[in-house]
Amino acid sequence: MNSVNFVPKPRLRYCCRYEWTAMSKPIVLNFCFSRAMLLIATGVLVCAGTELQAAEVNAEADPHAQHRAMMNKKADSDAVTAAVRLHDGALVTQDGDAVRFVDDVIADRIVVMNFVYTTCTTVCPVLSAIFIQLQQRLDDRLGTDVHMVSVSVDPGRDTPERLKAYADGLKARPGWVWLTGDKSEVDNVLRGLGAYTPDFEDHPSMILVGDGHTGTWRRFFGFPGPDKILAAVEELKTARQVASVQR
* Choice among 23-32, 56-65, 144-153, 167-176 with the minimum mean pLDDT: 56-65
Q: What is the pLDDT of residue 17?
A: 52
**Calpha distance 16→30 (Å, rounded):** 6
DSSP 169: H
Helices (H), 29-178: 65-69, 123-138, 160-169
Q: What is the mean pLDDT of residues 90-104?
A: 98
Predicted local distance difference test score (pLDDT) of residue 208: 98
Q: Is residue 205 part of a domain?
A: yes
C-alpha span between 18 and 32 (Å, rounded): 11
Q: Which pLDDT score, from 0 to 100, does residue 77 have?
A: 66
Phi-psi sector, 171: left (phi>0), alpha (psi -120 to 50), beta: left
Kindly report the average pLDDT of the chain as a whole number.
79
How far is the CA of 215 from the CAs of 28, 76, 79, 106, 210, in angstroms? 35, 24, 16, 10, 7
Range of lowest pLDDT (42-56, 84-98, 116-130, 179-193) = 42-56
Comparing CA positions, the residue from 189, 191, 171, 172 lying closest to residue 180 is 189
Within a domain: 8: no
Identify whether residues 185 and 203 lie together within a single domain: yes
Distance (Å, rounded) from C-alpha 66 to C-alpha 184?
23
**In this structure, are 59 and 130 located in the same domain?**
no
Same-domain status, 111 and 84: yes
Q: Which pLDDT belongs to residue 246?
A: 74
Verify that 158 and 84 share a domain, yes or no. yes
Confidence of residue 6 (pLDDT cuts 50, 70, 90): very low
Q: Cα–Cα–Cα angle for 197, 154, 107, nearest 5°?
A: 85
Same domain, 117 and 52: no
Asked if 20 and 94 sit in the same domain, the reply is no
Among candidates 128, 149, 106, which has minimal Cα distance to 226? Answer: 128
pLDDT at 33: 42
Whether the predicted pLDDT of 37 surpasses 80? no
One-character DSSP codes across 17-69: EEEEEETTEEEEEEEEEETTT--BSSS--EEETTEEE---B-TTT-TTHHHHH
Residues 117-152: tens digit of each pLDDT: 999 988 999 999 999 999 999 999 999 999 999 999
Reply yes or no on whether the pLDDT at 100 is more than 80. yes
What are the strands, taking DSSP E only, across 153-199?
Answer: 176-180
User: By three-state DSSP, how is residue 225 classified?
Assistant: coil
For residue 213, the enclosing domain spans 80-246
Give the pLDDT band (50/70/90) at residue 247.
low
Give the sign of the dihedral formed by CA 23, CA 168, CA 89, CA 99. negative
What confidence tens digit (pLDDT) does each residue in 178-226 have? 999 999 999 999 999 999 999 999 888 999 999 999 999 999 999 999 9
Domain count, the chain: 2
- pLDDT at residue 44 is higher than 50: no
* Residue that wins the pLDDT comparison between 242 and 187: 187
Whether 147 and 34 share a structural domain: no
Confidence of residue 97 (pLDDT cuts 50, 70, 90): very high
Q: Helices (H) and strands (E) in the chain — how many of each?
A: 5, 12
User: Average pLDDT of 73-78?
Assistant: 57
**Are 85 and 56 members of one domain?**
no
- Identify whether residues 121 and 44 lie together within a single domain: no
121 in a domain, yes or no? Answer: yes
Same-domain check for residues 91 and 162:
yes
Give the containing element (helix H, strand E) for 221: strand 216-221
Residue 175 has pLDDT above 50, yes or no: yes
Residue where a domain terminates, one of 53, 72, 91: 72
Domain membership flag for residue 3: no
Q: Which of 72, 89, 117 is the last residue of a domain?
A: 72
